[in-house]
Amino acid sequence: MAVNVAVVGATGAVGEEFLRILESRKFPIKELKLLASKRSAGKKIKFCGIDYTVQELNRHSFQGIKIALFSAGSSVSKEYVPYAIESGAVCVDNSSAFRMDDDVPLVVPEVNPQDIAKHQGVIANPNCSTIQMVVALKPIHDVARIKRVIVSTYQAVSGAGLKAVDELQKETASILAGRTDFKRNLFPYQIAFNVLPQIPQSNAFLPNGYTSEEMKMVNETKKIMGDNSIRVTATTVRVPVVRGHSESVNVETEKKITASEVKKLLSKAPGVKLVDDPANQLYPLATMSAGKDEVFVGRIREDESIDKGINMWIVSDNIRKGAALNAIQIAEKLL
Ligand code: A2P
């Protein structure tokens, strides 16, 4: 049955991807409403060959809407998700606004699809780095019970939006041209030819010394996996890559599991593509993941410093599985 769908943040990096995926997966849309800020009102966006006019988001935007996909930041979600619910829409929210609320399911369809049914009008889409990690961890956890995870991320700038991609490209061009007058707007330091151990780019640090992105990985992993006993520690890092987050992940398990058992498990795990052929220098890359749906996993090795540990390298398109695709998979399950 076709339904009326609204996309909030339709002009953003994730919004653009929402539209590409809705179109390619032939999501059953009766009417489509594209919403953004006042700045974009009137702008035309093509969807399935038809020009749609972007409208300014307001509290009445959701009349007749069945599914609202939100990706316009936390403050917009906090303000407008309640109006959408009041109008009878179910919201899939890509922001962090409601993720840790007890009555809001936080869902990765390959991991905890059963939680979708518990929603009360809003389902939260997890943080991009967390999504790709749990898709790969769940099959291991089911077999060997994961006790502890140590993760370091190498995150693409598109996670910070289209303006961040623009800043990386312009700064790179400026440095290559030998200029020294580039004016940064977003990142606290040069991101071109550099690596920043801070995500997000502003108000990142919490009193415990971790960044909010790092604590999202800790807390969201437990909630999605439905297991508060998993210990997680994270270091999240921005790298000058446009698209595709990479992660070095170390897991310690309760039960011994060998590297070849992990490879076998992941080779048939939903949403995972195993790319692990060191003899031929084959391993997951950000460039390999860009525009793809899968979570790519490789470099699987036993951690020789402990009895029961595994190291691996997990890569996925942060805008696709890390955001838009995961949200649309949730919406498909809702239908
Ligand atoms: P706009 O393009 O009109 O600013 P990104 O993550 O790529 O920066 O995109 C953010 C998205 O959220 C854009 O579509 C942006 O619209 C939208 N957005 C930002 N602030 C608001 C707001 N106050 N109301 C509605 N949409 C907003």
Q: How confident is the model at residue 319 (pLDDT cuts 50, 70, 90)?
A: very high
Candidates 7, 11, 17, 69: which one to mutate for ligand 1, based on the most atoms within 8 Å of Cβ?
A: 11
Mean pLDDT of 304-326: 98
Candidates 7, 39, 74, 76: which one to mutate for ligand 1, based on the most atoms within 8 Å of Cβ?
A: 76
Decide: 92 and 125 in contact? Cβ < 8 Å.
Answer: yes
Task: Determine whether 245 is an active site residue.
Answer: yes
Q: Does the structure show a pLDDT above 90 at 299?
A: yes
Please give the pLDDT value at position 157.
Answer: 98
pTM: 0.97
Mean pLDDT of 120-144: 98
Instruction: Give 298 Cα–ligand 1 centroid separation in angstroms.
Output: 35
Instruction: Give 275 Cα–ligand 1 centroid separation in angstroms.
Output: 36
Please give the pLDDT value at position 105.
Answer: 98
Mean pLDDT of 90-116: 98
Please give the pLDDT value at position 34.
Answer: 98
- The Cα 89–Cα 111 span in angstroms is 24
State the chain's mean pLDDT as an integer.
Answer: 98
Q: Which residues does a 6 A CB cutoff place in the pocket of ligand 1?
A: 9-13, 15, 36-37, 39-40, 57, 72-73, 76, 161-163
Please confirm whether the linkage preceding 200 is cis (ω < 30° from 0).
yes
Write down all domains in the chain, each with its CATH number in brackets: 3-126+323-334 (3.40.50.720), 130-318 (3.30.360.10)
Percent of the chain at pLDDT > 70 equals 100
Instruction: Give 7 Cα–ligand 1 centroid separation in angstroms.
Output: 11
Mean pLDDT of 304-317: 98
Q: Does the structure show a pLDDT above 90 at 169?
A: yes
Task: Determine whether 91 is an active site residue.
Answer: no
Q: How confident is the model at residue 304 (pLDDT cuts 50, 70, 90)?
A: very high
Please give the pLDDT value at position 108.
Answer: 99
Q: Does the structure show a pLDDT above 90 at 1?
A: no
What sign for the dihedral angle of Cα 24, 12, 10, 63?
positive
Q: Which atom of ligand 1 is nearest to the CA of 160?
A: 6
Instruction: Give 276 Cα–ligand 1 centroid separation in angstroms.
Output: 38
Mean pLDDT of 167-189: 97
Tell me the three-class secondary structure of the chain, residue by residue.
Answer: CCEEEEEECCCCHHHHHHHHHHHHCCCCEEEEEEEECHHHCCCEEEECCEEEECEECCCCCCCCCCEEEECCCHHHHHHHHHHHHHCCCEEEECCCCCCCCCCCCECCCCCCHHHHHHCCCEEECCCHHHHHHHHHHHHHHHHHCEEEEEEEEEECHHHHCHHHHHHHHHHHHHHHCCCCCCCCCCCCCCCCCCCECCCCCCCCECCCCCEHHHHHHHHHHHHHHCCCCCEEEEECCECCCCCCEEEEEEEEECCCCCHHHHHHHHHCCCCEEECCEHHHCECCCHHHHCCCCCEEEEEEEECCCCCCEEEEEEEECCCHHHHHHHHHHHHHHHC
Please give the pLDDT value at position 148.
Answer: 98
Q: Which atom of ligand 1 is nearest to the CA of 72?
A: 12
| Predicted confidence (pLDDT) per residue in 19-77, tens digit | 999 999 999 999 999 999 999 999 999 999 999 999 999 999 999 999 999 999 999 99
- The Cα 121–Cα 67 span in angstroms is 10
| Predicted confidence (pLDDT) per residue in 283-297, tens digit | 999 999 999 999 999
